[in-house]
Amino acid sequence: MTNIKEALEKDLKEVSLRGWIYRKRELKDKIFVVLRDKDEIIQCVFSKENFDEKSWKELLELQIEASIEVFGFVREDPRAPNGKEVEVKNYKIFDKGLPFPLHGREEVSTIMKYRHLWIRSRKFNAILKIKATLMQALREWLEKNEYIEVNPPIIIPVAVEEVQTLFEINYFDKKAYLTQSSQLYLEALIYSLEKVYCLAPSFRAEKSRTRRHLHEYWHLEIESAWYDLKDIMRDAESMVKYGIEKVIEKNEKELKFLKRDTKILENYVEKPFEKITYEKAIEILQSKGLNINYGDDLGADEERVLTLEFEVPIFVTHYPRKLKAFYMKESGNGKTVENFDLLASEGYGEIIGGSQREDDYEILKNKIIEWNLPLEKYEWYLDLRRYGSVPHSGFGLGIERMLMWVCKLEHIRDTLPFPRLRETEILI
């Protein structure tokens, strides 16, 4: 058994190929089928003279996405996709299929309805291969830099971020929630392992309905003892660059199919990322005519404007303390926190949020009270500051947001086989 990639790249005369019908065209005495497998496509030519009447009738009945095996001879043909075709001498049908409900120009609602079929598309094939490379590369960077993978729980008792974005569940007649972030558990683990990370789903019940919001996404989170804000920003930049570099190296064909300009991606790897404060960001936005004041949060529109001002990703640092979570360490002025958001270029916006964590027991306790959080639920978290507290920092990266940027996709729903979105009426 040969795969299509081997048939195209090797000097093979005779092949046996399995796959699905990607395209089909019928002439009077020939049928042209473009066969696809996981890697490539190749044209297969069925000539009527090679088959009896029953077989020819059977071949005419084949539908798009029919699954077949063909046996034949490879020949060069510049008119064929990828420059080669197979003259088919025999075949085997696994399933001739029914008329396929997708043809390539459907509305989003139709694509979502037939999501289980749309994910067969070559576009999604390319996206998933890039995603696999990206996730492997990020893990590789972390392992090389002495981070240890751990597995925090998905079911949690308290909020890590905003309370209103929690998905509540019944845990043996007690309230519990799907995790928004593994950060608090990672903080506990640094006292044993010092540098840790996890790659797991996170859940946000936020009402945002934009091209970059998901309710379930893959979250890469890291935490490191002895790190301040500069240290964690250094690691964030290095890791992101490594991930992009590996995608350029391993997924040239997929990037080309998606029409992604690799020179732009190479620029992100080669040049240092920009760094501006939140205060400076507000000044830039005001100079561009946006109606925003100091103390307002940055939304998708504001982030887009900022990213278009620079050729590389931007670290926006030191947000007002009231805009950010209770666990972030306050800056010396008491008005801002030691945090950053990393905004991806070309209008894509935030892909990472990180900070130095508050390591002082009294300050953290008072902030939990100030944020109106249930103090008793955070006693274990406060214990981390009672017994051997150390400076530490961490961040969370949204895999799908980074993938969306790297592939230059229009909507985040194309980064997952079965995305969980507010507009999704049917869950598969």
Compute mean pLDDT per 10 residues along the chain, 428 residues long, and list them: 91 94 94 96 96 95 97 93 94 96 86 90 96 98 98 85 78 90 95 97 80 89 98 98 98 96 96 97 95 93 94 97 94 92 96 97 95 91 96 97 96 91 64
d(CA 288, CA 306): 10
pTM to 2 decimal places? 0.93
Q: Which residues of the chain form CATH 2.40.50.140? A: 4-95
d(CA 241, CA 313): 10
Say what the pLDDT of residue 260 is: 97
CB 117 within 8 A of CB 100: yes
Say what the pLDDT of residue 108 is: 85
Cα angle: 141, vertex 146, 149; to 5 degrees: 80
Say what the pLDDT of residue 427 is: 66
- For the 4-95 domain, the top CATH level (class) is mainly beta
d(CA 89, CA 16): 10
CB 218 within 8 A of CB 199: yes
Say what the pLDDT of residue 333 is: 81
Say what the pLDDT of residue 425 is: 54
Q: How many Cβ atoms sit within 10 Å of the Cβ of residue 147?
A: 21
Say what the pLDDT of residue 379 is: 95
CB 396 within 8 A of CB 220: yes
d(CA 334, CA 13): 74
CB 336 within 8 A of CB 311: no
Q: Which CATH number is associated with domain 112-415? A: 3.30.930.10
Q: Which residues of the chain form CATH 3.30.930.10? A: 112-415
**Rg of the Cα atoms in the chain:** 26
d(CA 332, CA 249): 43
d(CA 194, CA 227): 10
d(CA 379, CA 383): 6
One-letter amino acid of 372: N
